[in-house]
Chains A and B, each alone.
Chain A
Amino acid sequence: MNRIIEKKQLSPEVFLFQIEAPLIAEERQPGQFVIVQASDDGERIPLTIVDSDAATGTITLIFQTVGKSTHLLAELNKGDNIPHLLGPLGAPTHITKTGTVVCVGGGIGVAPLYPIVKAMKKADNMVITIIGARTKELLILENEMETISDEFIVCTDDGSYGRKCLVTEPLKEICQRDPKPGLVIAIGPPVMMKFCAETTRPFNIKTMVSLNTIMIDGTGMCGGCRVTVGGQTRFVCVDGPEFDGHQVDFDIMIKRLGSYHKHEEKAHHECHLQLGLEKKNS
């Protein structure tokens, strides 16, 4: 079960797994996620499902190695089984025909954005996609995104590829068009989603964001993933992962995401030592 049938490295820190998971492939809808564990007692990692094929019974996951647990996951190879895989979880993206939809992806957030771009296009929307990364080699799914988008913009923070700017710059330009887009979907680092929401707010354009908070069970049981949305406490795992970006309290969410930062750094460092990855001078 959960056999990895394909593994690709998309960038120095980003990996793609295609996994045999027929039940999840059958039920899964865009916007939903899974929880994976790289070992029996390993951390539970929520990952958005990038793609699925009910006919072949496979799902595609893309993840970035950010800490010990994602590093252990990246150690798995084609033919290995993922010890634990639970899903599909969360509420699916609400896909409707809205006219023009702007899809904004930053860094690894381009991966969960991909199925939404696909679904929005399939629902006969005009889709403008903006993807961004710190630098050229961290860009993922460029070709895939370009193929399915009506308009496609790439930017990098350092100008090594595409426009040298943050994703909010082209987003603002598109918001100023007449007619303005009907919907913006932004997925990426919390700070990026926060500023995308701030960019669209003055234009009064509905902006959905997909949150990836700390989770344990992913079924509503622990409440560790909770966020403040419109002054109310909501659970990302069952009420989300998508919320109205204009209502999300990003500041407290970002602080909660940092809860285990020190612990993660230490575990990550020790993991590198174990795996022999640490550079001598670091």
Chain B
Amino acid sequence: MSSPTWLGKKEQLNRMNTKNSHNLNDLLKRKNDLKPSERAAVPPQRMSEQDPEARVRNFDEVALGYTPEQARLEAMRCLQCKNAPCINGCPVRINIPAFIKEIADGNYQEAIDIIKQDSLLPSICGRVCPQEVQCQAPCTLGKMLKSVDKAVSIGRLERFAADTERNQGIASLPVKPDTGRRVAVIGSGPAGLVVAADLRRAGHAVTIFEAFHKPGGVMVYGIPEFRLPKAIVQAEIDILTDMGVEIRTDFLVGRTRKLTDLMEKDGFDAVFVGTGAGLPKFMDIEGENLVGVFSANEYLTRTNLMKAYSSDIADTPILRSRKVAVLGGGNVAMDSARTAIRLGAEEVHIIYRRTEKEMPARVEEVHHAKEEGIIFHLLQNAKRILGNDQGLVTAIECLRYELGEPDDSGRRRPIVIPDSEFMIQTDTVIVAIGNDSNPLIHKTTPEITTNRWGNILVDDKGQTSLNGVYAGGDIVSGAATVILAMGQGRIAAKSIHEYLTNGS
């Protein structure tokens, strides 16, 4: 892409940078007449963060949020493109330029109202969405400035709008008159919460069934407090209960009650299955069942859900580790490593068999992990785990890899280098190489068909092979993101509403 002519005028740009762009009031006076060049010249607003040295000793949120001034300056960077490529990058197609314009104008309630037309959990998505590969990837400003890092920080603005609203006390969403129809939602993760909200708004009675003792799914047991405070998730759930959604915890559909019984005996007219990807994968290597080897799910659940980090509140313990090795390169691997260091580990290693470029983790998470002193071992992978006579982990034997041709995922395939074995001393190994689908619903409801990986098969409306039963989120797509689960939830909710209204 060739640079626009105005970008060539370096001097003019520099002058603008120093004189105008920091001054919100100057910009505000002319907010409707700002030229693209002037918008582009506003420096990207950094969100302040806890200092790495301080934050590795607590579980508080790392990113601290924008001030109103920062948010409005950042919002003014938006070029308000007519074709809005950002919207195409958003899985739920939020009207991004419109809400950003409201923030620039200081109309924060209007901004959040626009977001909520399409996204029901903005304070969560603003924090955990991978914006750099979604809405911010095609941002015109980022392209102009030749770096996706310089795109408008859409996610941070979304978070700002949502937090501002929450801090003032969110009014629950209006609910239409009761339709007399009842919907069971299985699982209280992002997909389930969105389905519950949409269908309740339409006037249907909704009951969410959750196996754990607290609702929220992966947002509560998986994603750590320092990335997504649990109070925020609870606030979203409180809105649902205010709207009249019933939540039944300690209820495992398939075991406590069969899915078909919910429809045939308990009077539910439709069911949504959003049970997630809750079956941890292991490496299938020697030593994997030694004491001190955890799935990331176990490690994070002990810490987040059961609050093992605070012996004052919780009774569930977690082993105190000195040297931790985390296997994997996704967000869950970063979460595990950063949790381990907060729990007091002296050294935390991430072992990943490709290079940083292929890591599925968000760039921001990798950056945060590095700032916190996590040691990265790239192009390496575990071969076996060694233990002592008490069954305690003592070391991990690794192999070195190089990258070959691209594989099915489009990433270059790692190829093992023969005889490259070496040891890393460690007392804890966390396996964070992904999750398979939890097989319970399929096992106890064989009428629902799945593919060979156990993912529930649905049509483009989210309908499963069983009439009246819909599914979405990771149980359909395999381990993915909060926003994709939400997107599928919205599609399924729309279909369920049509099914309940028109019978198809």
- Which chain A residues have a beta carbon within 8 Å of chain B's beta carbons? 23-24, 27, 37, 39-44, 68-69, 72, 83-89, 216-217, 219-224, 226-228, 233, 238, 249, 251-252, 255-256, 258-260, 263-264, 267
Contact = CB atoms under 8 A, between A and B. Distances in A.
A95 B359 CA distance: 49
B213 A220 contact: no
A249 B290 CA distance: 12
A84 B249 contact: yes
A88 B256 CA distance: 6
A88 B255 CA distance: 6
Contacts of A89: 252, 255
B288 interface: yes
- Identify the 10 closest CB pairs spanning chains A and B, nearest first: A255-B391, A222-B298, A221-B278, A223-B295, A263-B317, A43-B315, A86-B250, A224-B298, A84-B213, A223-B280
25 contacts: A23-B251, A37-B213, A69-B315, A84-B249, A86-B213, A86-B256, A87-B256, A217-B212, A217-B301, A219-B211, A219-B278, A219-B438, A220-B279, A220-B440, A221-B279, A223-B282, A223-B294, A238-B439, A252-B391, A255-B392, A256-B289, A256-B291, A259-B291, A260-B319, A267-B317
B314 interface: yes
Contacts of A43: 306, 314-316
A62 B306 CA distance: 24
A160 B290 CA distance: 38
Given A41-B306, A238-B440, A252-B391, A222 B280 contact: yes
A108 to B, nearest CB: 20
Interface in B227-252: 249-252
A233 B295 CA distance: 13
Contact of B298 (A24, A68, A216): A216
A224 B294 contact: yes
Interface of B: 211-213, 221, 249-252, 255-258, 278-280, 282, 284, 288-292, 294-295, 297-298, 301-302, 305-307, 313-317, 319, 390-392, 438-440
B255 A222 contact: no
Contacts of B211: 86, 217, 219
B213, B282, B295, B390: which has the most chain A beta carbons within 10 Å?
Answer: B213
Contacts of B307: 41
A31 to B, nearest CB: 13
A72 B316 CA distance: 13
Central interface residue in B221, B255, B294, by most chain A CB within 10 Å: B255
A256 B306 contact: no
Contacts of A264: 317
Nearest to B312: A41
Chain B CB count within 10 A is highest, among A89, A220, A249, for A220
Nearest to A23: B256
Contact of A216 (B250, B306, B391, B392): B306
B140 to A, nearest CB: 42
A223 B298 contact: yes
Nearest to B213: A84
A251 B319 CA distance: 20
Nearest to B280: A223
A228 B293 CA distance: 14
B171 to A, nearest CB: 28
A49 to B, nearest CB: 12
A84 B250 contact: yes
A222 B279 CA distance: 7
A37 B250 CA distance: 10
Given A219-B252, A222-B295, A223-B295, A41 B290 contact: no
Which of A86, A216, A223, A249 has the most B CB atoms < 10 Å from its CB?
Answer: A223
A42 B315 contact: yes
A222 B289 contact: no
A227 to B, nearest CB: 7
Most-contacted residue by chain A among B212, B251, B284, B302 (CB, 10 A):
B212
Looking at B256, B284, B295, B297, the one whose CB has the most chain A CB atoms below 10 A away is: B256
